[in-house]
Amino acid sequence: MENPFALLESRLSNIENILLDIKHKPKEDLSNKRYSIKQASEILGCIPLTIRNHIRQGTIKAERLGRKYYILHSELFNSFDEVKSLKYKR
């Protein structure tokens, strides 16, 4: 008769290897990641018009490429630290 715990042990070792791979996987470099106004509004939980207003006011710095605005990852989250909630600031 086969050891009933052998199957469990092999599965656990497989799961352990997967977790170690995830742990040692290099993190994504977000320093140069840019978000569109729509993506930024989804991240912050507000409407795109609110993001545009904050860009006009200078609360959020954005780059204009063609007709669209793009916000750097660091600028988006640094501005979020300065203003407690972009969603309900009045």
**In the structure encoding, which two tokens stand for residue 55, read together?**
């860009």
pLDDT at 68: 93
pTM of the model: 0.59
* Cβ proximity of 73 and 61 under 8 Å: no
48-69 average pLDDT score: 91
Residue 1: inside a domain? no
Question: What is the distance between the alpha carbons of residues 48 and 51, in angstroms, rounded to a whole number?
Answer: 5
DSSP 35: E
Range of 43's domain? 34-82
Q: What is the DSSP string of 48-86?
A: HHHHHHHHHHTSS--EEETTEEEEEHHHHHHHHHHSS-T
pLDDT tens, position by position, 9-48: 999 999 999 999 888 887 777 778 899 999 999 988 889 9
Residue 16: inside a domain? no
Residue 3: inside a domain? no
